[in-house]
Structure 1
Amino acid sequence: MKTTVSTHKLPGYGSTLRTAKSLADQAVRLVGRSVPGRMPDVQITLTTARGMAELSAAADIALAGAADRRAVTRAVRDGKRMSRDIQARAIPRPDGSALILINADKHADPGEFAVTLVHELVHAMQFSRKGVLERIVRDTRDGLGIERQPRRQSREHLRLLKQEEQEAYGREYLANQLIPGAAA
């Protein structure tokens, strides 16, 4: 299990990067002990909303194995729309590792960052569970218009996604162990 923290198109955020590196190592150990599953190799990237859209689209394209222009266009459009609203996103990679994109502009203090980091690391742990990666790949391919999935599988994916989100929100209290008062 290897953890890397970097920035993407984010000049002048040296202190934020140092804080992220110190919190990431502690958070990976904490989440690894608390959540069932195996922690994959994790790449945490701090970026802006524009960089998040770009990296998110590239990760979705790689995950789905998309090569046609329509799927790439749809991935870019979806990435732009999603990056306006969210603070962070965890994306599995085809090699079994996880990419965590964090919008640095939406985190005012280290406490908020710790809560988001713990939340996304829980999702990274969930990717290692049986059948989760295949389900996410199938849904991504469906979302990009590459390969349709049956309606039953789509509903099952949404139901399991809701459960996974609840688990991640339920583990945000672990951020208090990183920074006291973070999850308050």
Structure 2
Amino acid sequence: MICKQCGNELAPNDKFCGACGAPNDAAANQSAQPRYEQPVQSEQPRYEQPIQQQYGQPAQPQYGQPTQPQYGQPQYGQPQYGQPQYGQPVQPQYGQYTQDQLAGSVLKFGILGLVFSMLIPLLGIIFGAIAMSKAKNYALTYPLVGKAKTGRILGIVGLVVSIVWIVLGILAVL
């Protein structure tokens, strides 16, 4: 290469002439061009390119596009069947009971155990045992307070009174 100002010979990488200091236009143009002749190819697909689906695999969603829900999956903003919405009380599904219903059941069997312990002691033992069993199951999920605790106490009292009546009946016969 030759300098346009003074005619001095320049190396291809020289940006300025060593004799006169004039800029080398050819070197400046080379530095402005990209250094690589071929573009580097990425291993990952670009987001603009569609993803090709292979047989036997579910379709992959593209970024930024909403997906269609699969069978059995809830859509956003819609409650599933049996799921409560915000601000609504929880309704038990078939075969399930609320905490209050379970506590009421323990209390009912405790009362029956106490009442039948004085009338028919064998039924008092049965109802007292059922009340204690229901109270035990209730305590696995909820704290044993209120109706459930009262029903358990009445079941124990009914069980003890029934046993006392049975023992007194046996002693009276002997």
TM-score class, shorter-chain normalisation, is: under 0.3
Relative to its length, the structure with more helix (as a share) is 1
Relative to its length, the structure with more strand (as a share) is 1
Larger relative contact order, structure 1 or 2 (CA cutoff 8 Å, min sep 6): 1
Query: Could you state the TM-score of these two structures normalised by the residue count of structure 2?
Result: 0.23
Query: Could you state the TM-score of these two structures normalised by the residue count of structure 1?
Result: 0.22
